[in-house]
Structure 1
Amino acid sequence: MTPFRGIALKVISVLLFAIMASCIKATAPHVPPGEAVFFRSFFALPVIVGWLLVRGELRTGLKTQNKMGHFWRGFIGTSAMALGFASLGLLPLPEVTAIGYAAPLLTVVFASMFLGEQVRAFRLSAVGLGLVGVLIVLYPRLTIFGTGDPYSAATLGAVLVLGSAVFRALAQIHIRKLVQTEETAAIVFYFSMTATLLSLLTLPLGWVWPTPWEAALLVSAGLIGGAAQIFLTSAYRFAPASVVAPFDYASMLFAILIGFFIFDEVPTVVMLIGSSIIIGAGVLIIWRERQLGLQRGARQNLTPQG
């Protein structure tokens, strides 16, 4: 293990995903989300296939024992992507990023519900704290909290990104099942393939002919997204998940900088407070997972062998 290399790869992947999101956001006023999903998925495929060829894993990437499992992972992930892309056209980038942090919190809850994983009071408390942070970020957007201003587009955007977080959490649960029989390369490849095909179903909903600039941004989103996925996967080869996972939250810094300098978006105090609480809760969960992993390792070392 070379942790610093793993951390560097993780930070690069987070930065690339932020740039990818900004490319999608720039086209959102004109390009439908389903069309954006197509570009993001289709143009990621050459990058992923090239990576598998270089590593000599193309055959592994095409081999699968669970075709329907990949379909459902693709369906759930594509739904998350479409909802997230739609929200980018309605909310500031930092706000979308902050609400999206609900996904790892919900993953803990869903793991208990659907995988039977034991979740004790500490992690449940951290999840609860994180969801309070999500509510703080949502507060100005949802009229049910009595802000008195409808913000119709922003309200829809908040609902969409929250829905995206739910689907992203469900996708993580499905991936945990897939890795029991499938290689990482296969999961990455078939997700992009499935998302590409599913996005074509949105053609009747009104795709548009992008301008040359929009086309360049959409193609870039696919290429950058594919590269980001590779950096992300590679990061976990060089460092434990508990070491690199906290650097997911560097995305807030990148989102604030990109939002401010590219889209003239100034983060609100409420959003910063809420996102800080969410990030703190996420780090607590990651720390607890690391402690439990160390405890399990110690027990295994104490178990008599042979």
Structure 2
Amino acid sequence: MENLKGSLWMMLSMLGFAVEDMFVKLAAAAVPPGQILMLFGAGGMLGFWLMAASKGEKVLISEAISRTLLVRALFEITGRLFFILALAFTTLSSTSAILQATPLAVTLGAAVLFKERVGLARWVAIFIGFAGVLLVIQPTPASFELTSLLALIGMLGFAGRDLATRAAPPALSNAQLGVYGFAVLVPTGAGYAAFSSGFVWPDGFSWFAIASATLIGIGAYYSLTLAMRTGEVSVVTPFRYARLLFALVFGLLVFNESPNATMLAGSAIIVASGCFILLHGRHTARRQRKQAALIE
């Protein structure tokens, strides 16, 4: 029952993130990406600040000043900025497909930075997954668009943020990390807007889209937290890939996107590789526990 609850929370979370992406892309039709990032960051910071306050958690604490959180902030900025740029200038479906490679990049980074053991099978799955990314980007002279690299850089930024989060001081809660992560987006977005396309006063629908993206994004993050704390992580986590399915549906219905067969094949390879890594890791952990029990 706990696994079922966790899986449903994960599905709800991924639906929320897909709706958030849809609203950001809709807002980007009239509002510069930098300004969206600034407003999104301000709303997210306020939301997580209220969440922390409701739990009696202080936001300004000494543990927030560390090299790890500085690195996390830089990756957060990279991930968010380039992901919003990708949503603004490329299709929702391709951007979401590339984002699904984040677990592959995190696994690769954990092996390199944290010396986590990654067997041959998972190394093969990682490289096959990145081959799927190439199929989505389609780096051939006839079909390649430079803007496709925006989503790739954003994905790498999110992977770096996740790795830095893992190394963050244990004293910091998810809400506190949320405040810091969104706070750095405000000056970043303002600076990018000032030196690129400038600022505009959003119309009514743009305000609605940005506010909806912010509120739904906070709710999706909260649902994700519940999902990861309910049931087995190895059972719940594969449902992250539902985000791609929702993105494909929204891309078709809202933006009239029609992904070609190559992109769909690449998406399937990315998802399959990620699921294999998760399930293989679960199997390996179970086998190690049995061996430890026999030794005892």
- TM-score normalised according to structure 2 size: 0.91
Runs (5+) with no aligned partner, structure 2: none
What are structure 1's unaligned runs of at least 5 residues?
Answer: none
Q: SS of the residue aligned with 1:188? A: helix
The SS at the match of 1:118 is: coil
Q: Distance in 2 between matches of 1:243 and 1:123?
A: 18
CA contact (8 A) 2:125 2:273 kept: yes
Task: Say which of 183, 198, 205 aligns to 2:173.
Answer: 183
The whole-number CA distance in structure 2 between the counterparts of 1:179 and 1:290 is: 26
Q: Is the 8 A contact 1:40 1:225 kept in 2?
A: no
The residue type paired with residue 48 of structure 2 is I
Q: Work out the CA distance in 2 between the residues paired with 1:183 and 1:281.
A: 31
TM-score by structure 1 length? 0.88
Matched, 1:201 2:191: yes
In the TM superposition, what are the counterparts of 1:239-254 in structure 2 within 5 Å? 239-254=231-246
Rounded Cα–Cα distance in structure 1 between residues aligned with 2:133 and 2:249: 21
2:82–2:154 Cα contact (<8 Å) kept: yes
Measured after TM superposition, the shift of residue 26 of structure 1 is 0.8
The answer for the alignment partner of 1:45 in structure 2 is 45
Calculate percent identity across the aligned residue pairs: 26
Alpha-carbon spacing, 1:31–1:70, altered in 2? closer, same or farther (3 Å): same
Give the Cα–Cα distance (whole angstroms) in 1 for the partners of residues 232 and 11 of structure 2.
14
How many Å separate the matches in 2 of 1:209 and 1:22? 20
Tell whether the 8 Å contact from 1:34 to 1:199 is kept in structure 2 after alignment.
yes
Q: CA deviation at 1:57?
A: 4.7
Q: 1:299 to 1:67 in 2, by over 3 A?
A: farther
Of 208, 223, 226, the residue aligned with 2:215 is 223
Q: Quote the Cα distance in structure 1 between the aligned partners of 2:99 and 2:253.
A: 21
The C-alpha deviation readout for 1:142-169, integer Å capped at 9, x for no partner, is 3xx232x5x6xxx132110011111111
Separation in 1, partners of 2:103, 2:174: 19
Contact 1:57 1:185 in 2 (8 A): no
CA shift in 2, pair 1:218/1:109, >3 Å: same
Match of 1:138 in 2: 137
TM-aligned CA deviation for residue 10 of structure 1 = 0.9
Tell me the residue number matched to 2:117: 118
Structure 1 residue 181: Cα displacement? 4.8
CA contact (8 A) 1:100 1:162 kept: yes
- Asked if the contact 1:40–1:223 (Cα under 8 Å) also holds between the matched residues in 2, the reply is no
279-288 or 175-184: which moved more?
Answer: 175-184
Matching residue's letter, 2:95: V
The secondary structure found in structure 2 opposite 1:88 is helix
Contact 2:77 / 2:185 at 8 angstroms: preserved in 1?
yes
Give the superposition deviation at 1:74.
2.1
For 1:300 and 1:178, the matched residues in 2 are separated by 29
Q: Which of residues 269, 276, 282 is equivalent to 1:277?
A: 269
- RMSD, aligned α-carbons: 2.1
Please tell me whether the aligned partners of residues 130 and 278 of structure 1 are also in contact (alpha carbons under 8 angstroms).
yes
